[in-house]
Amino acid sequence: MDILKKIQDHREQEEELKWEGTFSEYLDLLKERPYLAQSAHSRVYNMIKSAGVAEEHDHKRYKFFDEDIYGLDEAMEKLVEEYFHPAARRLDVRKRILLLMGPVSGGKSTLVNLLKRGMEKYTHTDEGAVFAIKGCPMHEDPLHLVPNHLRKDFQEEYGIRIEGSLSPLNTMRVETEYGGRIEDVLVERIFFSEDKRTGIGTFSPSDPKSQDIADLTGSIDFSTIAQYGSESDPRAYRFDGELNKANRGIMEFQEMLKCDEKFLWHLLSLTQEGNFKAGRFALISADELIIAHTNEAEYRSFIANKKNEALHSRMIVMPVPYNLKVSQEERIYEKMIRESDIRDVHIAPHTLRVAAMFTILTRLKESKKASIDVLKKMRLYDGEILEGFSDVDVEELKKEHADEGMSGIDPRYVINRISSTIIKKELTSINALDVLRSLKDGLGSHASISNEDKERYLDFISLARKEYDEIAKKEVQKAFVYSYEDSAVTLMDNYLDNVEAYCNKAKLRDPLTGEELNPDERLMRSIEEQIGVSENAKKAFREEILIRISAYARKGKKFDYQSHERLREAIQKKLFSDLKDVVKITTSTKTPDEQQLKKINEVVATLIDEHGYNSSSANELLKYVGSLLNR
């Protein structure tokens, strides 16, 4: 299907969704679908909930955020449960400005854009449909047509509470165009669109001397005053300010605390009473979610100013910290690279992970517990299972520092350094060492990094390098072991024979001499020690293996090399330990013989086919690991 056909199909679908009728016909719709009369806050909450909610470890994960917000599940849960949900239920928090506070490049703007794009799509669904008085520049709620003295009767009949008053313009239109017959007033279905300024408004501060309050509340159309005779005639007013256009939906205040005070005064009435003042009219009702964002320094300065107390009391501040999970940080980089012009460059496996390790380390605070260093904390936060630690310990760690994640290196810095490396050196392939080197080189020119932080960050680069050394050795180990797959299977079978004899207190029979032998304790321990199984834990580990074999047998399955992850790791490590000398010689010989060359080619092929390397990055990895083993 070509793009023009898709555009045509979309246009036809939108035409099918359009609806127009009288207010009387709209009331018939409400009897069938009362949810159409929901408030702006309710609509946002239902949009988020409609994407699905997953229960995980006593926490809720809102799937709406999954594709764009990484590693902030708990912050998003707090946002939904403490703001959107109660606001949707008409509790007092809906009369507050939602202020997202967090470090630069932490995801605040991404979150707001996600909500705005989500609302645009949601208003195209049956559940999110929005209806407005036709021809109204503020897309006013048709229920405002119901006179105040009849609203109690309306609530009893329809189960819907009406809030807000009919705007001056529509009050005049009802009299002049419809002869006071509200039942004949035309109503239409609308679709939110930031581009078309329908239901979504965005206000960005600029020079206070040139910025006009009309940007928010609209202005007088002087060309029509002669026609209508007065500035107080609503027909002589342009209801085209951001507060007007955002009615029924979302109003975003970018860098709100940079705004001049006079722009913020209008929010006092809008948040508390649901209306604002424009021109020479009575207060104009507006139903919109006001969402703003700022950084911590500006917020602290704002609340320190006593003049801002009234506005401060009308805010709900939601921290949006940096992500603290390595695996999620890696996803952020992958997304940023996909959206860039460097997506065609080969990035060797583990490169982004190692960069993410460095970034996360800069964001973590030292634990008060002596048994936990930053590396352990990083692993626990990423969901790794470490011996002696549980989920309870992780929750306690998170409570130690309320501001953890509010400082450190931002994702843009990492992507900028990766881009810089590729462009300067005109590389077609980069690895973890290239990126770590670039991150280190860029610290000196990063304006916001103090000398003290720079020293800490250099230490973190060293830690990330050590982590990469272990990853690199394991990667080559797996590739070599893959080439020695038969040896791995033989070693495992030998181990299992000995474990079975040990657990059953039996003897083994030598296949050549036929004599009975005791289980080979040295062999079993040499394998178990590879994964840290202690002398005291060896019996439990061996019994666990035997139970797993029995479970497989009962199901008619064969227990093989892939059946027990820890045993497979132990076998691989033991085999690699035995092969270390071969690896050293193979990777460091400048003029390998035919046999060594064959082995190198096999390992390179395995790294390319099984592990995602290309020829260049695979050979670089082998050389690097060879140099590590020869130290």
Residue-level pLDDT at 558: 86
The neighbour count for residue 19, using CB atoms within 10 Å, is 14
Local structure of 66: helix, strand or coil: coil
Alpha-carbon gap, residue 539 to 310, rounded angstroms:
68
Letter string b/e over residues 510-549, b meaning 16 or more CB atoms within 10 A of that residue's CB: eeeeeeeeebbeeebeebbbbbebeeeebeebbeebbeeb
Domain boundaries defined on the chain: 29-54+61-128+143-184+191-319, 326-449, 473-630
Residue-level pLDDT at 587: 65
Residue-level pLDDT at 586: 67
DSSP 491: H
H or E element at residue 56 = strand 53-56
Q: Three-state secondary structure along 262-277?
A: HHHHHHHHHHHHCEEC
Task: Answer yes or no: are the C-beta atoms of 232 and 283 closer than 8 Å.
Answer: no
The neighbour count for residue 555, using CB atoms within 10 Å, is 7
HSE-CB for 630 with a 13 A CA cutoff:
14
Alpha-carbon gap, residue 456 to 190, rounded angstroms:
54
How far from chain centre, in Å, is Cα 135? 39
Residue-level pLDDT at 423: 80
Residue 279 sits at the vertex; the CA angle it makes with 277 and 285, to the nearest 5 degrees, is 35
Task: Answer yes or no: are the C-beta atoms of 582 and 476 closer than 8 Å.
Answer: no
The neighbour count for residue 505, using CB atoms within 10 Å, is 7
**With left for phi above 0 and alpha for psi between -120 and 50, is residue 52 left, alpha or beta?**
left
Residue-level pLDDT at 277: 82
Nearest to 356 by CA among 381, 324, 386, 384: 324
Task: Answer yes or no: are the C-beta atoms of 166 and 144 closer than 8 Å.
Answer: yes
Local structure of 343: helix, strand or coil: coil
pLDDT digits (tens, 9 = 90+) for 561-618: 778 888 888 888 887 777 666 666 666 666 667 776 777 788 889 899 988 999 999 9
The neighbour count for residue 261, using CB atoms within 10 Å, is 11
Question: What is the CATH code of the structural domain delimited by 29-54+61-128+143-184+191-319?
Answer: 3.40.50.300
List the beta bridge partners of residue 253.
Answer: 203, 292
Alpha-carbon gap, residue 274 to 292, rounded angstroms:
17
Residue-level pLDDT at 343: 75
Give the residue ranges of the chain where pLDDT is below 50. Answer: none
